[in-house]
Chains A and B, each alone.
Chain A
């Protein structure tokens, strides 16, 4: 069975541009959460979606948005990119809202120049 898949694996963008990151959860999982991991730090929660509805939002500006599709895949969008948005973006998949059985993808490495 495929695990959590994220695309692209690496991305370079210029300041002010927009970026879309994608995540496909494990088959049967209905919850997707997004985390930002800045170099040298632990992951920080951005969003959780469950059954296509937003169920949690971290302390991130409105430039960050996300959505979940009927097949439970998800997109994370970031507008007006800043240098500080450079990070590894991780997607976590779980069958329900709880993270006791969450599985993480390999992440998307975003570099803003």
Chain B
């Protein structure tokens, strides 16, 4: 079974500053990794995912995450945040069969971007 740790429950950051949201996972098998974003009173939106290939994956709105197998991490980074990035961010892991029952979410990190 997989598990996900997001050590930072809350991350306040000033607008235009860089940010890193940490995600570590545990698994005995090969995994797929995901970052989802949840804006207030909304469902989850897929931000980016790692399935295979390049360990650095990017989203269309400037976020990137790097899969580090040796450190079992998939940290999310953005070089310059905007007020609109304020949201809850969830890291998720699944085994490569990737069925719903194998999809495990972390507890989430609340990113607050301050003016």
User: What is A's interface to B at a CB cutoff of 8 Å?
Assistant: 4, 31, 33, 40-45, 47-48, 55-58, 90, 92, 97-100, 102-107
Q: Which one of B45, B49, B106, B107 contacts A104 once the chains associate, using CB atoms below 8 Å? A: B45
Chain B: interface residue total (CB-CB under 8 A): 26
B35: min CB distance to chain A, Å:
12
State the CA gap A103–B103 with chains docked (Å).
Answer: 13
CB-nearest residue of chain A to B42: A106
| Residues from chain B with Cβ under 8 Å of A40 in the complex | 107-108
Beta-carbon nearest neighbor of A31 in chain B: B100
**Besides A33-B100, A43-B105, 20 other CB < 8 A contacts?**
A4-B43, A33-B103, A41-B107, A42-B92, A42-B105, A43-B90, A45-B101, A48-B100, A55-B99, A56-B99, A56-B101, A90-B44, A92-B44, A99-B100, A99-B103, A104-B43, A104-B44, A104-B45, A106-B42, A106-B43
* Least distance between B75 CB and chain A CB atoms (Å): 17
